[in-house]
Structure 1
C-alpha cells in the first residue's frame, strides 16, 4: 500500500544506524536529479510499531536482518521545500545484524561508507555529528562489554534544514 499523508500531518519515519568497523551503512538514491545519502529507513505503516518498521525497512533496502534495536536519537525535521514535518526515529542494533548489504530496491544503493567521508556526502537529514557520536558510544560499549540498554544519545534533536530547503 503506498504511503500518503495529508498536507498538515506530521510524518513518522524510522531508520537504522548500522556500523561495521569505521563505516556506517547508508543508502544512495536521487532526489530532484541529485544524489542523496540516507540511513536505511522509511515511513511507519498504520499496522506496525516503530521497531517493526525499522527492521522491515532495513531488510527491504539492504537485505540485513537486525535483532535487538534501541533508540539512538529522535529528529524533528522540517523540510521547507515541501513544507512537510517529519519525526525521524534513529535506532541502532545492539546485537549486530545478519547478512551482507545488497541492493534490493531499484535506484537505491546500500553501501558501508567510511566515517571519515561523511562530511563530503549530501546526507539527509544532516546528522553527520550525531552519527560520529553514536559510533563513539558504540565503540565504548564494545570496549566495556556493556551494550547501551536503550539510553538515547540525544533525547530530541532539531535537524538543520537541507541546503536549498
Structure 2
C-alpha cells in the first residue's frame, strides 16, 4: 500500500460547443479549455463560469458534467483532478475575445482537434460527446446549499 500523500489540485473548466466547433484557449504551450481553480468557497460550476468569463469574455451556464478526469505527473509530484462542465453561452452569437495576455480564445472546428496540442488530450472525447456517443453525467453541486450551481 502506498503512503504517497500528494496534494490534489482541482481544475474546473467549461466545454462550450457551438455547431461543429468548441471553445478553446490557445497558449504558448498548446490549447486548453477555459477554466481554473475555485476561489474560496466558490462551487466547481461557479468556478467554470467565472473562469470562462475571465478568459474569453463569454458568459456561460454550466448544465452538466461532461467529464471528470485526472492526471498524475509523478516526476513533478503533481496530481490534478479536472471537472469539465458542459456549458451553454448566454448569448449564442457572442464571440470570444482576448482578455488575458498570452491566452487567445476561439471557437475551433472539431475536425481540427486531432492536430492540436490539446492539454489534457481529450479531443476524441469532445468529438464523441458532440456526436452523442458519450452521455453527460448529472451534476448535483453542493447538495447542502439551496442553489447547487451558484
State the TM-score, normalized to the length of structure 2: 0.79
Question: In the alignment, is residue 97 of structure 1 matched against residue 82 of structure 2?
Answer: no
1:23 aligned partner = 21
Mapping of residues 60-75 of structure 1, within 5 Å: 60-75=54-69
* Alpha-carbon separation, structure 2, partners of 1:20 and 1:81: 37
Give 1:73 deviation, angstroms.
1.1
* Alpha-carbon separation, structure 2, partners of 1:64 and 1:84: 30
Summarize deviations over 1:106-162 as a string: whole Å, max 9, x none: 110001111111001110001011101111129xxxxxxxxx8xx429xxxxxxxxx
**Count of matched residue positions in the alignment of Structure 1 and Structure 2:** 132
1:19–1:72 Cα change, 3 Å: same
Gaps spanning 5+ residues in structure 1: where?
Answer: 1-6, 139-147, 154-165
Mapping of residues 7-86 of structure 1, within 5 Å: 8-30=6-28, 35-86=29-80
2:107 aligned partner = 112
1:145 aligned partner = none
1:78–1:97 Cα change, 3 Å: farther
**Contact 2:49–2:62 at 8 Å: present in 1 too?**
no
Give 1:68 deviation, angstroms.
4.2
Runs of 4+ off more than 3 Å:
none
Give 1:69 deviation, angstroms.
2.4
State the TM-score, normalized to the length of structure 1: 0.72
Partner of 2:108: helix, strand, or coil?
Answer: strand
Question: In the alignment, is residue 126 of structure 1 matched against residue 121 of structure 2?
Answer: yes
